[in-house]
């Protein structure tokens, strides 16, 4: 079965996605009966499109970003016509102000009858209701596990493994950068500033780490999980958010003396009035906590249910390849034949 893909965004994650479908093409065809064909890429300034497929061999040798797309045009013919495909993969930079350009791309792809796989969080976080309603009206499927903790299977567990359960509470360590920083502060008795600098030197933290350390990245992931699994229609304004920037060496030391360690926990639970409450903030958890063993850049999540008890998942690569692999998984699960 041929599946034609259109990718928006050829940054680090977008390129990793292209690498994966190229490297694993034979395996995917043998294992799942799927031939994934990349027919289009939408870049910042222009697009590449050929209905029979782009030459990935050439593309991957040309570097990354817009420069690679420009070079590709010099070597291969492309079509200046309406893009058609089966799956639209959205991997543009996250914009938490209005979700664009990802939002515009997704809505247009839905209008064209394409299934959606989103890696970027911006469009879904800022326009959840609009995109969900558009997808339902067009009978289009929308998948976004890459936006809810990348390689860590959070959404998959809640939607499939816990089918029939009532999810009573969710707790997660959903950001690998902040978990690395807190782990270094705990293990090496370093300050927040020192641990952040080490993370930046290792390429774990961005030059501007505010999205991570403020708790906003974790909040975005929690929001998508809550809206998907707990049937809320919340926005970021409905989440109480506190980051890790103000944690001191003294805070860490006091927690260690009590046999505890800090984690930036994203939590969804039922409040006293029966409403779902969402919060992200540092907690000092003891060694018996299900997420205490999540160290370094790892992530983890625990679902508390009425019939299956507490179900946890820990690990998952916190890097662009892990995010790209989550998107590939979503594409495969949309069309695989060996699943009911």
User: Would residue 263 show up in a list of annotated catalytic residues for this protein?
Assistant: no
Residue 339 has pLDDT above 60, yes or no: no
Query: What are the φ/ψ torsions at residue 181 (nearest 5 degrees)?
Result: -60, -45
Lowest mean pLDDT among 55-59, 62-66, 329-333: 62-66
* DSSP three-state, residue 54: coil
Ranges of beta strands (E only) in 54-189 are 87-90, 115-118, 142-143, 167-173
CA-nearest of 249, 250, 245 to 264 is: 245
Give me the CATH topology for the region 155-316: Dihydrodipicolinate Reductase; domain 2 (3.30.360)
Section 271-276 average pLDDT: 86
User: For residue range 200-210, what is the model confidence (pLDDT) as tens digits?
Assistant: 999 999 889 99
Omega before 268 within 30 of 0, i.e. cis: no
Q: What percent of the chain has pLDDT over 90?
A: 85
Among residues 4, 103, 221, 260, which one is catalytic? 221
Assigned CATH class of 2-151+321-335: alpha beta
- DSSP 8-state assignment for residue 207: S
Residue 260 has pLDDT above 70, yes or no: yes
Section 135-150 average pLDDT: 95
Section 279-289 average pLDDT: 96
pLDDT the model gives residue 83: 87
Section 68-88 average pLDDT: 86
Residue 233 has pLDDT above 70, yes or no: yes
Please report, for the chain, the start and end positions of each structural domain, with discontinuous segments joined by +: 2-151+321-335, 155-316
Section 253-263 average pLDDT: 95
Question: What does the alpha-carbon distance between residue 110 and residue 340 come to, in Å, rounded to a whole number?
Answer: 25
Section 226-255 average pLDDT: 96
CA distances from 283 to 67, 179, 230, 270 (A): 44, 12, 23, 18
Average pLDDT over the chain reads: 94
b/e 311-330 (16+ beta carbons within 10 angstroms → b): bbbbebbbbbbbbbbbbbbb
* DSSP three-state, residue 142: strand
pLDDT the model gives residue 340: 46
Residue 337 has pLDDT above 80, yes or no: no
Omega before 101 within 30 of 0, i.e. cis: yes
3-state helix, strand, coil in the chain (%, to 5): 40, 20, 35
């Amino acid at each position: 079965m041929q599946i034609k893909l259109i990718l928006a965004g050829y940054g680090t994650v977008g390129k990793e996605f292209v690498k994966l479908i190229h490297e694993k093409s034979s395996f995917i065809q043998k294992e799942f009966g799927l031939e994934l064909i990349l027919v289009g890429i939408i870049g910042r300034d222009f697009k590449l499109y050929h209905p029979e497929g782009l030459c990935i061999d050439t593309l991957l040798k040309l570097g990354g970003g817009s420069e690679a797309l420009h070079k590709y045009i010099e070597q291969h013919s492309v079509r200046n016509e309406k893009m058609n495909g089966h799956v639209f993969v959205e991997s543009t930079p996250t914009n938490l102000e209005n979700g664009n350009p990802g939002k515009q791309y997704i809505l247009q792809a839905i209008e064209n009858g394409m299934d959606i796989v989103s890696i970027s969080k911006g469009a879904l976080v800022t326009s959840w209701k609009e995109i969900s309603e558009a997808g339902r009206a067009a009978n289009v499927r929308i998948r976004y596990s890459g936006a809810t903790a990348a390689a860590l299977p959070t959404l998959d567990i809640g939607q499939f493994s816990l089918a029939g359960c009532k999810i009573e509470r969710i707790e997660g360590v959903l950001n690998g950068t902040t978990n690395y920083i807190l782990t270094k502060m705990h293990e090496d008795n370093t300050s927040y500033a020192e641990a952040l600098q080490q993370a930046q030197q290792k390429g774990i933290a961005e030059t501007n780490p505010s999205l991570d350390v403020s708790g906003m990245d974790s909040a975005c992931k929690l929001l998508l999980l809550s809206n998907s699994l707990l049937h809320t229609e919340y926005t970021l304004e409905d989440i109480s958010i506190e980051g890790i920037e103000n944690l001191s060496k003294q805070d860490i030391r006091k927690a260690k003396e009590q046999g505890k360690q800090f984690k930036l926990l994203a939590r969804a639970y039922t409040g006293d009035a029966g409403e779902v409450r969402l919060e992200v903030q540092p907690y000092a958890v003891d060694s018996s906590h299900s997420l205490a063993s999540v160290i370094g850049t790892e992530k983890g999540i625990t679902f508390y249910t009425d019939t299956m008890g507490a179900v946890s998942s820990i690990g998952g690569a916190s890097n662009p390849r892990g995010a790209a692999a989550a998107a590939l998984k979503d594409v495969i699960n949309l069309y695989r034949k060996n699943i009911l």
